[in-house]
Structure 1
């Protein structure tokens, strides 16, 4: 039997987001994120249609940063749920603060407040909302007030297991969570949801159907130079171009973990801290740990030849 699609929400009023993807792209740039046209379009649609956004791509290409910049731009809270193997409902939704419950029970017992009270009354008191620890998903759904809804970042969902994906499906279908002792919490306005995956395993189709999807590529050369200049403004254009070119060369070497734009930014910041103005073989060798994080990748790069790498990057940077 085919699964019923979730009922679509009414689109957000046009005034709540820019008029078009180009306007959103400009808004993101104003807050430090240089998106390409495809990414700006899917983010625009996710906001207008109030649909979760699933971003896949290699580590370091800027997926997590999308959620951060959306929160900065909208002036909303960023609620981050970092996924890991074995994550369960307690880490995602809520759990009871058993230590505080026990202290409350002992204090009431010492004060003689428990005399003559039934078990049900005591249990009701212990399951008061003041003892509830709200985790990111419940916190996002429980937003109330006139401010913008929070941005819920579900980071690296591919690290979680099938049971956790099933939990997400339920939440994203109904925008609600039931706390048996307190009742159902339903979002007045759904949060902005950004789900990221490094694709260490495939995310199930059922989850993808509830989301708008985009594969985030490494930026092209000119955009990576612009990103480096934006994030490390103290470096000049020549060094930014050399770092972007060198990073591109490294990505072509078949490394275990090719560097992303995050690594190119870190490398540039390290070079700036050293007062470096131009890349040469000695400088690359000394700072390789800022861009490559596996010994095997560093060895492969040195086997390729650092002089050859510098020659190749100069050719690309020119």
Structure 2
């Protein structure tokens, strides 16, 4: 069984979260503006309230794509580059990267004035070599992690021509701050337009609407901390944990509870998201079943060991 790359399928319904609907009214009549969403129909994007399902035994790890050196392109001069772009109902200002000698060319930071909270869960970049065709290209979404494997925030890249160009650009950007990419997905703007300003809504879009194109070795996805209850329901001794140790969660009706992960949660209470495996009540996983399996395992119990034991039981 491969535990490194859980497949993303449309199962596991939970309640729909509210979206941030604040509008930004910024005068920009005197600034050159490129409209990026001319093909997007407002209101098409909806949050899909689902979480990654249980791993199947026959799933295979997605081969890692070796990140090549960042593609070089002629960097736009300040005179040639528009000062802002329209992202749905928001106006995003375009800023050059601070690293003047960076090998990542034609790559700019997008900032939405009036919504500084977005930067807590998302970095927005645009590859500006051909802004006029941005709306015809996919968006690339990634999970950023630090050197310990902890989730930092999402990263969105607009304007890349294809994944061959996007992967090295994103790896080059994170490498400048000594961070890393855990996984990269491809998503259409209409599936992201209404959801990128809210952390939970962005998670649902990333989980259910995006297509996985690249992962790091032993990749495990991350879930926002506010989506699950941290109190452990069944008490037993856990094996030692590090920052790469996943939580084992059970979706029981409309609540997500911790089965295994008490020691992992104690490592840092300030993390915004944690690596996780998800089991579901409607797949035949009950608290009584979990209790019975725990009593058969030698203490202390490892997260992977417990996960495999439960999977084996429900697949028999």
Q: Which has the higher contact order (CA 8 A, sep 6+)?
A: 1
- What's the TM-score, normalizing by structure 2? 0.27
Q: Would you tell me which structure has more helix in proportion to its own residues?
A: 1
- What's the TM-score, normalizing by structure 1? 0.27
Q: Would you tell me which structure has more strand in proportion to its own residues?
A: 2
